[in-house]
Amino acid sequence: MLPPIARRFVAGESVPEALDHVRACNEDGIAVVVNLLGEHYDDPAAARADADAYLSLLDDIADSGLDARISVKPSQIGLDASAELFEEHYREIVARADALDAFVWCDMEGADTTDDTLDAFESIAAEYPWRVGQCVQSNLRRTRDDLDRLVDVPGAIRLVKGAYDEPASVAYTDGARVDEAYREDLRVLFEHRDRGVAVGSHDPAMISLADRLARDHGTDYEVQMLMGVREDAQRDLAAQGVDVVQYAPFGDKWLSYFYRRVRERKENLTFALRAVAGR
Ligand code: FAD
């Protein structure tokens, strides 16, 4: 069972618990991207099982009438077995979303997966326009060039700073340089698109820049933040009329995700220690 300490960041272990969380967010005017926790399956059967779980999750979301999308990880639905298997599962999931009038996001993992992930995104978005969205990472040196190729693809783009430790040969490793790249990438997206921009950041400076750029260019955009992180800000932005979407993971493989959240910020560690101490 999911211990109370993990409930801040994880929406439960089961689909009904995840959907209860979506319902509570929707009541606050916040939509949700639901992610089934799991990654790095080199066994095709495990990748198939999670692809099936996403197909069934799409059905459950459609039946519930809730405002939710899903987000898959490439290595969860087959990329560690082969690029072909990943794309086959990804296409099947998006086809189901298309039939249900739903939407599928794809997370971005380590830099060695970027080419295969973007190739699949381009091909599937061409087949199912505006049914799919791809995460891209501003810390990667290549991203500015990738955006030139992606701005005209009929799919949404979630811009994030990037969560993976990458070598300096492929990524900016200095935080200020990553922030500069993020600002530049935001400008490119807002200048070249009138829809399909998701600002995947908790950073108030980036969220205000997005607001300014949207006013300048008339671009439709949303702010995406993680469950358990700046939830007050999520509610405040939603109350101001910004489209806010919370990324909420669920499932029994919650432990490593929870540790990642706790390790990345001192406040989160303090929260975890207080919860353990019962205060
Ligand atoms: P940071 O640079 O971490 O922080 C900047 C400022 O934001 C801080 O100074 C503070 O003011 C505020 N802030 C940040 N965190 C907190 C907090 N916990 N409490 C209070 N204030 C805070 N990465 C990937 O590599 N691939 C993905 O597919 C991916 N998907 C993501 C999806 C979503 C919806 C989000 C929000 C992030 C995703 N990430 C992904 C993670 C992302 O790459 C960053 O590692 C993460 O969002 C931290 O960067 P940041 O922009 O939020 O701000």
Instruction: Write the CATH number for 39.
Output: 3.20.20.220
Q: Are 54 and 73 in contact (CB under 8 A)?
A: no
Q: Which helix (H) or strand (E) holds 247?
A: strand 244-250
Q: Give me 59's structure tokens.
A: 């059905």
- Mean local confidence (pLDDT), 118-134: 98
- The CA distance from 129 to 154, in Å, is 5
CB count, 10 Å around CB of 89?
A: 26
Residue 164 CB–ligand 1 contact under 6 Å: yes
Which residues, in sequence order, are CB contacts of 219 under 8 Å at separation 6+? 189, 190, 193, 194, 195, 197, 213
Looking at residue 80, its amino acid is D
Residue 161 CB–ligand 1 contact under 6 Å: yes
Q: What is the domain extent for residue 172? A: 4-277
Looking at residue 278, its amino acid is G
Q: Are 137 and 106 in contact (CB under 8 A)?
A: no
Which of 66 and 266 is assigned the larger pLDDT? 66
158 is catalytic: yes
How, if at all, do strands 197-200 and 68-72 pair?
unpaired
Q: Is residue 233 very low, low, confident or very high in pLDDT (cuts 50, 70, 90)? A: very high
Q: Is residue 274 very low, low, confident or very high in pLDDT (cuts 50, 70, 90)? A: low
Question: Which of the following is catalytic: 69, 131, 158, 261?
Answer: 158
107 is catalytic: yes
Is the pLDDT at 270 greater than 90? The verdict is no
| Closest by Cα among 200, 254, 255 to 229 | 200
Which of 119-128, 190-199, 269-278 has the least mean pLDDT?
269-278
Cα–ligand 1 centroid distance for 214 (angstroms): 20
Identify any residues that bridge with 179 across adjacent strands, giving them in sequence order.
Answer: none
Provide the number of structural domains found in the chain. 1
